[in-house]
């Protein structure tokens, strides 16, 4: 059969077209190779990447994409049956892409990508550079190559009364290269992370004057220096954030009671070599100078350690009983690598130090050493643990009891301080009880009450009229803790700072079980586990209510299990007279934390943040104290005192 | 004449019988909302229009519930923009897919409890033969609303409230 030249020309054109269709993407992929991507000192290699509209289309399961996300601690979830691709950063920000839609959302804020994510088999192509920027990684051209530079991406300043919290969030875990510290000024250098953030000068609250951000180094090895200048007389403390890539620095104005707290130790004992360098950790050493307003109720002279007993505790815990000849202040620190230590200031050992490797418990080693000079002696007790485990401190008139349990740490603060000798605890993220925790019986006779301050961290709860639920619930919880401790209860809190607590185990388990939306459930379950794991006597969840109608007001006591109801009724009878709020009664609701706790549990919605009358109350510290007192009275009415309770159980 | 009369009677009887049984769920349905006290239910009856099969009626009832009662009625309402994306009925369980705007009701236990109580009571009225309601938000199962209190990843029933 003859073919005309025109026909041959058409066939050739068609063949070329087909060839271009096949080779086009390959050529495009080759462009990616022509401009290599570097991240953290190594080349990032994608198996399937296609340049597209000033971005790079990369499947979520591409090995290069996976490596990139893993380095950032981010996770991606995509179900081919759904339209959404959710990337969650280490600090729990969600970046949500929608198939076929170029708009995407970062933490609820909508933005536009150069192209819409597209399905590719059972995977989906995402705009890689857009995603990187959302994760605080900036693509920079350097010498003909593209460098993916991690950055300090957020600087959040919040004021709560005399406290100003500065939250720093980076793309990667924050590692400081030395810090220069004085009570009123903090300078931190973050190596390996750049920044495009500018200085902050205004509206920084009563404790902070300025925040400066300076970037040095190169595109590949940047350094960001953060300098925070406090107001005259202010002091500061560093606490860990909800994730390793977040650091929170709290500055306290001079009138704050916490000022005395942060500067309680009169002299900073240096860190011995065996405890490890702290310059790269997020925990600052104690200040060299007492704060200008440091006037803690401490009358501490020098004391000697007359006895130190290391013994097994209940449930495979380890207990260290320190007996002192006098009262001393102490500070404790949790280091990032499963180490924890407490320094007893102005204390001396009567003999040489010691190091033990107990054959029981979750502690690998215990070291006791004399540190500091003659002018500032201190005794350091340091633990190396197999994980970040719960450490409880119980000061008493005769000294201090330290208990390391096998439970995961719930005290996310990395440092705290206190005092032995029976004086009130001035500050710590631990809950000293009248008795060491391990000796507490479990179940109905348990001496442990768990307080759950609702929300925290990214979960602000309800916010209206200038008030934030998560701050109020923590305030009430702190007050309630003090009252329950005074009653003789051992108290644990599901959170003690502005975080939304979660354990890695819960996150992993929820994901392994295939439970939908595992993150939310894991976070809620963690709160329940704090109580369930110790078989607490009671669980009290504190919240602030909100309603779409401003007339709704009052206090509500929510219960779920039948065993909750008598406790809810007892709280209602005591809280309403104490707080003088409208009694909205007890209500049966399917709320997670009261459903999944195994002991009597009540969720108290204390007042409505949407009602002006209730808001007026919520603004008053005296009202928050009355609420706490009412709850404490209700606990006493329902459960009696812990001592009497224990006796009744024995009988 | 008699035959004609019998024929008319037979046709009439047949029409009456078929039209009496066709709307298996009736011509109207009860939709609940929750009063501003957050717990008392307020029933109101709406016409079904063309909806007749169980899934369609369930979708219609859920949509009416989420839309809320007339503006003059004081009730706890779903957040503005919330709508029902789909309702699937399987056996005695309804699977309701709500739009993400409902997330805004998570602040405080009051609103979310009131809203979902109304929705569950609406869908579990006897004539629908539904006794449990599963909830999705934006097509996804959720443990709770973001920052919310009410457990949503297990079916809700009237006993849940």
Per-domain residue ranges of chain A:
10-142, 150-256, 303-419, 443-639
CB A125 within 8 A of CB A62: no
Question: Which of A461, A547, A596 comes nearest B38 by C-beta?
Answer: A547
Sheet holding A318-324, edge to edge: A347-349, A303-312, A318-324, A399-408, A389-396
pLDDT at B18: 45
pLDDT at B35 exceeding the cut of 50: yes
Give the gap in angstroms from C-alpha A608 to the nearest C-alpha of chain B: 8
The average pLDDT across A496-504 equals 81
The average pLDDT across A451-466 equals 87
pLDDT at A30: 39
pLDDT at A72 exceeding the cut of 80: yes
Strand ranges inside A481-537, DSSP E: 490-493
pLDDT at B73 exceeding the cut of 50: yes
Rounded to the nearest angstrom, the gap between the alpha carbon of residue B103 and the centroid of all alpha carbons in its chain is 19
The average pLDDT across A487-512 equals 80
**CB neighbour list of residue B86: distance below 8 Å, 6 or more residues apart:** B59, B95, B96, B97
pLDDT at A274 exceeding the cut of 80: no
pLDDT at B6: 67
Query: Which of chain B's residues have a Cβ under 8 Å away from the Cβ of A462?
Result: 107-108
Cβ of A524 and B144 within 8 Å? yes
pTM confidence score: 0.45
Distance between CA A59 and CA B19 in Å, rounded? 56
Of all residues in chain B, the one with the smallest CA distance to A593 is B149
For residue A469, the 8-state DSSP code is H
Cβ of A545 and B141 within 8 Å? no
Distance between CA A246 and CA A114 in Å, rounded? 29
Cβ of B139 and A84 within 8 Å? yes
The average pLDDT across A22-42 equals 58
- CATH number for domain A443-639, candidates 3.40.50.1370, 3.30.1340.10, 3.30.43.10, 3.40.630.40: 3.40.630.40
* Domains A150-256 and A303-419 alike in fold: yes
Backbone angles phi, psi at A125, to 5 degrees: -85, 130
pLDDT at A291: 31
Backbone angles phi, psi at B38, to 5 degrees: 85, -5
Percent of chain A with pLDDT over 70: 73
- How does residue A114 score in pLDDT terms, banded at 50, 70 and 90? very high
Rounded to the nearest angstrom, the gap between the alpha carbon of residue A202 and the centroid of all alpha carbons in its chain is 27
**CB neighbour list of residue A444: distance below 8 Å, 6 or more residues apart:** A537, A645, A649
Query: Backbone dihedral region of A315: left (phi > 0), alpha (psi from -120 to 50 degrees) or beta?
Result: left
More confident residue, A397 or A164: A164
The average pLDDT across A110-130 equals 88
A29-43, A204-218, B115-129: least confident range = A29-43
More confident residue, A136 or A265: A136
A218-227, A271-280, A546-555: least confident range = A271-280
Distance between CA A541 and CA A605 in Å, rounded? 9
The average pLDDT across A354-377 equals 78
- Residue entry with tokens 């306290």: A252
Ranges A96-100, A181-185, A427-431, A593-597, most confident: A593-597
Q: Quick one: tokens of A576?
A: 């309403």
**CB neighbour list of residue A502: distance below 8 Å, 6 or more residues apart:** A519, A522, A523, A526
CB A234 within 8 A of CB A293: no
Percent of chain A with pLDDT over 90: 21
What is the DSSP track for chain B?
Answer: -HHHHHHHHHHHHHHHHHHHHS-TT-SEEEEEEE-TTSS-EEEEEEE-TT--SHHHHHHHHHHHHHH-S-TTS--B-PPTT--EEEEEEETTEEEEEE-GGGGGGGSSHHHHHHHHHHHHHHHTSGGGT--EEEEEETTEE-SSSTT--B--SS-B-GGG-
The average pLDDT across A184-200 equals 82
CB B48 within 8 A of CB B28: yes
CATH number for the region A10-142 comes to: 3.30.457.10
pLDDT at B131 exceeding the cut of 80: yes
CATH number for the region A303-419 comes to: 2.60.40.3500
Domain A150-256 sits in CATH 3.40.390.10: no
pLDDT at A97: 86
Distance between CA A119 and CA A230 in Å, rounded? 51
Cβ of B108 and A82 within 8 Å? no
pLDDT at A586: 92
Distance between CA A448 and CA A384 in Å, rounded? 26
pLDDT at A445: 56
More confident residue, A23 or B48: B48
Query: Which of chain B's residues have a Cβ under 8 Å away from the Cβ of A469?
Result: 107-108
**Biggest distance spanned by C-alpha atoms of chain B:** 76
Angle at A628 between CA A625 and CA A629, to 5 degrees: 85
pLDDT at A422 exceeding the cut of 70: no
**Biggest distance spanned by C-alpha atoms of chain A:** 113
ipTM rounded to 2 decimals:
0.72
């Amino acid at each position: 059969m003859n073919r005309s030249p025109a026909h041959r020309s058409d066939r050739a054109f068609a063949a070329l077209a087909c060839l271009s269709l096949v080779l086009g993407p390959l050529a495009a992929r080759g462009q990616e190779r022509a401009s290599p991507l570097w991240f953290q000192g190594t080349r990032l290699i994608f198996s399937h990447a296609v340049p597209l509209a000033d971005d790079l289309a990369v499947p979520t399961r591409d090995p290069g994409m996976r490596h990139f996300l893993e380095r950032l601690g981010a996770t991606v979830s995509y179900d081919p049956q759904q339209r959404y691709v959710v990337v969650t950063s280490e600090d729990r920000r969600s970046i949500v892409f929608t198939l076929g839609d170029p708009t995407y959302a970062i933490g609820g804020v909508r933005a536009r990508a150069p192209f819409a994510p597209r399905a590719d088999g059972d995977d989906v192509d995402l705009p890689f550079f857009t995603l990187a920027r959302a994760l605080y990684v900036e693509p920079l051209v350097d010498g003909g190559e593209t460098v993916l530079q991690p950055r300090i991406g957020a600087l959040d300043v919040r004021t709560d009364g005399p406290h100003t919290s500065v939250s720093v969030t980076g793309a990667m875990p924050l590692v400081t290269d030395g810090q220069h510290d004085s009570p009123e000024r903090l300078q931190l250098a973050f190596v390996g992370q750049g920044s495009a953030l500018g200085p902050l000068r205004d509206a920084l609250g009563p404790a902070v004057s300025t925040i400066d951000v300076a970037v040095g180094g190169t595109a590949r090895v940047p350094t960001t220096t953060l300098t925070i200048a406090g107001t005259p007389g202010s002091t500061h403390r560093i606490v860990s954030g909800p994730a390793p890539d977040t650091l929170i620095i709290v500055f306290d104005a001079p009138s704050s009671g916490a000022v005395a707290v942060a500067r309680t130790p009169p002299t900073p004992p240096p860190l011995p070599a065996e405890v490890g360098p702290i310059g790269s950790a997020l925990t600052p050493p104690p200040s060299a100078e007492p704060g200008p307003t440091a006037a803690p109720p401490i009358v501490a002279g020098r004391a000697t350690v007359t006895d130190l007993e290391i013994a097994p505790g209940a449930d495979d815990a380890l207990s260290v009983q320190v007996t002192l000849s006098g009262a001393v202040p102490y500070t404790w620190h949790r280091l990032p690598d499963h180490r924890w230590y407490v320094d007893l200031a102005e204390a001396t050992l009567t003999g040489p130090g010691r190091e033990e490797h107990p054959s029981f418990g979750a502690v690998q080693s215990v070291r006791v050493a004399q540190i500091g000079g003659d002018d500032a002696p201190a005794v350091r007790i340091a633990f190396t643990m197999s994980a970040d485990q719960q450490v409880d401190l119980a000061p008493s008139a005769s000294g201090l009891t330290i208990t390391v349990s096998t439970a995961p740490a719930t005290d996310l603060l990395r440092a705290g301080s206190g005092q032995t000798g029976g004086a009130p605890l001035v500050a710590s993220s631990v809950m000293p009880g009248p008795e060491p925790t391990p000796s507490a019986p479990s179940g109905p006779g348990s001496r442990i009450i768990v307080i759950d301050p609702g929300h925290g961290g990214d979960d602000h709860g309800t916010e209206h009229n200038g008030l934030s639920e998560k701050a109020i619930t923590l305030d009430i919880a702190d007050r309630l803790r003090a009252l329950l401790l005074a009653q003789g209860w051992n108290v644990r809190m599901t959170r003690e700072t502005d975080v939304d607590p979660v354990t890695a185990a819960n996150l992993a388990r929820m994901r392994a079980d295939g439970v939908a939306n595992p993150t939310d459930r894991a976070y809620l379950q963690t709160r329940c586990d704090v109580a369930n794991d110790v078989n607490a006597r009671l669980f009290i969840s504190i919240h602030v209510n909100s309603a779409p109608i401003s007339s709704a007001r009052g206090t509500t006591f929510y219960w779920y299990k039948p065993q909750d109801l008598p406790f809810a009724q007892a709280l209602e009878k005591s809280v309403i007279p104490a707080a003088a709020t409208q009694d909205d009664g007890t209500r049966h609701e399917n709320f997670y934390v009261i459903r999944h706790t195994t002991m009597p549990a009540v969720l108290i919605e204390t007042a409505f943040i949407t009602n002006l009358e209730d808001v007026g109350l919520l603004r008053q510290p005296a009202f928050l104290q009355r609420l706490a007192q009412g709850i404490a009275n209700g606990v006493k009415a329902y459960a009696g005192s812990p001592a009497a309770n224990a006796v009744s159980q024995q009988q | 004449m008699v035959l004609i009369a019998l024929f008319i009677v037979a046709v009439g009887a047949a029409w009456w019988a078929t039209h009496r049984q066709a709307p298996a769920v009736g011509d109207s349905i009860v939709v609940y909302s929750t009063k501003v006290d957050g717990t008392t239910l307020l029933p109101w009856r709406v016409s079904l229009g063309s909806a007749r099969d169980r899934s369609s009626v369930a979708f219609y009832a859920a949509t009416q519930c989420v839309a809320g009662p007339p503006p003059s009625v004081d009730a706890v309402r779903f957040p503005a923009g919330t709508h029902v994306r789909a309702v699937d009925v399987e056996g005695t369980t309804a699977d309701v897919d709500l739009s993400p705007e409902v997330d805004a009701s998570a602040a405080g236990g009051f609103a979310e409890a009131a809203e979902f109580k109304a929705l569950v009571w609406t869908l579990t009225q006897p004539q629908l033969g539904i006794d449990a309601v599963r909830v999705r938000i934006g097509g996804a199962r959720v443990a709770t609303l973001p920052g919310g209190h009410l457990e949503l990843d297990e079916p809700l029933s009237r006993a849940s409230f």
